[in-house]
Amino acid sequence: MLTAGICRWLYRQGVKVAPFKAQNMSNNSAVTPDGGEIGRAQVLQAAACGLEPSVRFNPVLLKPGSEHSSQVVVLGQPTGQVTAGNYRSLKAELSGTVFSTLDSLRAEYDVVVCEGAGSPAEINLREGDFVNMGLARAANIPAIVVGDIDRGGVFAALYGTLALLDPEDQALIRGFVINKFRGSRSLLDPGLDMISARTGRPVLGVLPFSQDLWLDGEDSLSYRDGAVLGRPTPPLGPDGLSVAVIRLPRISNATDAEALAAEPGVTVRLTSNPADVAAADLVVLPGSKATVADLAWLRDMGLAAPLAARAAEGRPILAICGGYQMLAGSITDHVESASGQVPGLGLLPSRITFAETKTLSRPTGTALGHPVTGYEIHYGQAETTGDPLITLADGTPEGLRHGSIWGTHWHGLLENNAFRRAFLAEVAATAGRAFVPAPDTDFAALRLRQLDLLGDLVAEYLDTDLLQSILDSSR
């Protein structure tokens, strides 16, 4: 988020700026215009720079499929699976791609703002590192250490981070930023003075916590079981709508539900509680990086029964990507889980077969009479009978609408304002709620307002003269 804020601050000054994250580990991803896959955080950062997303902004993406292995995506394309052990052997090869990609961006843009990953003081991972100080050393990039005060112990974290680095890495640390502060800044000043005196490095500023910054979570850790998304506001009509998003263990693109949470009167809660699934006006079954494993978890948690009961009662369910696959009659998977054929929940007239090649696309079409855009990231291919949810621009059907169940492989569908209003109107009618969709909620504008808020926070709370001098020193 701070990277996005600095990017926005520069962009609004007319600077040609681009974001860069050498390696991201996240199942929240998106498709670039050239058909590649990158982390959603870099999509947000690109928007802060006024740019379309590019695979160059996130050359290495790791997508965890279990506790022990991840899919590796290089320059937007999947290249295989790795474990923590054998990933070390890939580092040298990947670092060459990362360094050359950064070189190309530096040649094209006035400024490149590089985000690290995790902590620069993960000393067990320093050998072969190309993401944090390894990147900074290779490209002679000045670095700022950011501490999240919400987690506690921020002064020890800042001091300890610097102390654990090698002298050559320490030489690149130009200062500190404290993030998510609540309360009176004057109470913090003695600590700021002391950390600067003991390290010989300035604190560039203290950013306040802002409740308005909630869109586009970087990864699944941003979406906790039991959490309410966004900042719910009162409904326009007599009734609101309750939405339960099933918090799968390997949830992917949980950001899909954020457009619902932006609507007045719609309360969106992440949950793994069967009672919540039974009671909600709408249930969203989101994407998954491990469809078969998460389907087994869903059954073990007792969530299959309330989903089946909702279908039998004609109560709304929206299933997206991996969730859409789980509702099929059968799933044949020799690719992602190597499980062969397993029974799905059988709530949609469809069969899923996992292909060897991943679908990465940004299609357009029509749904509920409105033009829509979205993006697809999946191996599973659907064979369906029944009414499609979306008709693509070339006439090809996509997804299903089967009674009160809506299913699609598309991510981002709910970000289409007109479709979202029509969808919520139908959900409300089916649920028997006197809910009135807001006529003017504009999700894209909401995202831009968040980016401008980030730029405002950087301009107001950071020492931008010092930040500019750090930038100038790296030319």
Indicate which residues carry an active-site annotation. Answer: 321, 411
- Helices (runs of H) and strands (runs of E) counted in the chain: 16, 27
Q: Residue holding tokens 């109107």? A: 425
CA distance 267 to 288: 22
The distance of Cα 294 from the centroid of its chain, to the nearest Å, equals 19
Token pair of 313, please?
């009662």
Contacts for 338 with CB less than 8 Å, ≥ 6 apart: none
Q: Residue holding tokens 């902004």? A: 57
Token pair of 444, please?
């894209």
Helix, strand, coil distribution of the chain in percent, nearest 5: 35, 30, 35
The distance of Cα 84 from the centroid of its chain, to the nearest Å, equals 22
Side-chain-side CA neighbours of 40 within 13 Å: the count stands at 23
Could you give the C-alpha distances from 461 to 9, 185, 377, 456, in angstroms and in order?
Answer: 12, 11, 38, 8
**Which residues are paired to 112 by β-bridges?**
18
Radius of gyration for the chain, computed over Cα atoms and rounded to the nearest angstrom: 23
Token pair of 27, please?
């199942």
Alpha helices (H) along 415-442: 417-431
Contact status, residue 286 vs residue 256, Cβ threshold 8 Å: yes
Q: Which of 330, 288, 279 is nearest to 309 (CA)?
A: 279
Token pair of 421, please?
């209003």
Contact status, residue 391 vs residue 303, Cβ threshold 8 Å: no
